[in-house]
């Protein structure tokens, strides 16, 4: 049975918070989990003008998880040449996966985040009342 939108939104928040915290703790020299979230938030601010639904925070969380899951599926998606053509948060997510794959997979499992259900949604489907 597919996870309800309300429950999925709550699970998304819990999983993002857990991932940011644990990545920050693992990367002791810097707060790369927080830095990644801030990149997603920066992207969300510009996207919010286009989508106009939900909130910047909800878009940042969706962006965070979507890019991270894409990177988990293909950790070699981007090469150095592609850096100038893609958004910063996508390449940052790839780097996080290359450095912290086991931690990320473990946290997704611990939080019980429904990865497959999440992948069936686009942002507007999850946060718009019109869909």
Nearest to 90 by CA among 67, 69, 60: 67
For the CA atoms of 20, 44, 90, 2, the dihedral, rounded to the nearest 10 degrees, stands at 70
Task: Quote the CA–CA distance of 102 and 115 in Å, as a whole number.
Answer: 16
pTM: 0.87
7-19 mean pLDDT:
95
What is the 8-class DSSP label of residue 54? S
Residue 64: pLDDT over 90 = yes
- The percent of residues in the chain predicted with pLDDT above 90, rounded, is 56
Read off the pLDDT of residues 98-126 as tens digits, 9 standing for 90 and up: 999 999 999 999 999 999 999 998 888 88
Domain ranges of the chain: 5-125
């Amino acid at each position: 049975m597919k996870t309800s939108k309300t429950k999925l939104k709550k699970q998304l928040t819990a999983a993002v918070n857990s991932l940011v915290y644990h990545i920050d703790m693992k990367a002791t020299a810097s707060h790369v989990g927080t830095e990644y979230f801030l990149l997603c938030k920066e992207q969300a601010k510009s996207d919010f003008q286009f989508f106009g639904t939900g909130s910047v925070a909800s878009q940042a969380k969706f962006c965070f998880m979507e890019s991270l899951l894409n990177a988990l599926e293909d950790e070699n998606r981007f090469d150095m040449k592609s850096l100038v053509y893609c958004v910063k948060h996508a390449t940052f997510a790839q780097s996080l996966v290359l450095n912290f794959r086991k931690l990320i997979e473990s946290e997704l499992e611990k939080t019980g985040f429904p990865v497959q259900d999440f992948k069936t949604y686009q942002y507007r489907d999850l946060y718009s009342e019109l869909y």
